[in-house]
Amino acid sequence: MRLIILFFISLIFLFKENLANEFKLICENKKQVNNINLSNRFSKIINFNNKTVENISGNYFDKILIFNKYELIMQNNIFQTTSSFNLINGEWTVYNDKFIDVYSCKKKRR
């Protein structure tokens, strides 16, 4: 019986963790980036309540095009790039007509 209760408490904790409204995202490209305007690492704060992305360091992005529970798509008009963050697999992809760079990202709860 205690094991069952512990199991349900763990599920509730994990479920709550996944529903966190705001988290810090730390992304890194372990290879050399193809686009020289991008850095190998960047971090952002993503807030689901406000549907906002705050840049902390590294790559910059201008306009949010799509913000839902599965993906985040942004466009940078200065460097003519589009970015896609897949919330399921944690990959941030930056691309334009010449380059594609893929970053592996980790979420840190704030």
Q: What is the pLDDT of residues 16-51, one digit of tens each?
A: 544 458 889 999 998 888 888 788 899 999 888 888
Q: How many CA atoms lie within 13 A of 79 on its CB side?
A: 19
Across 19-39, b (16+ Cβ under 10 Å) vs e yields: eeeebebbbebeeebebeebb
Of 54 and 72, the structure prediction assigns the larger pLDDT to 72
pLDDT > 60? residue 80: yes
Q: How confident is the model at residue 11 (pLDDT cuts 50, 70, 90)?
A: very low
User: How far, in Å, CA of 105 to CA of 54, rounded?
Assistant: 15
Task: Concatenate the DSSP letters of all residues of 18-53 into one string.
Answer: HT-SEEEEEEE-SS--SSTTS-SEEEEEEETTTTEE
Q: What percentage of the chain carries pLDDT values higher than 90? A: 34
Of 57 and 70, the structure prediction assigns the larger pLDDT to 70
| pLDDT reported for residue 60 | 73
| pLDDT reported for residue 17 | 47
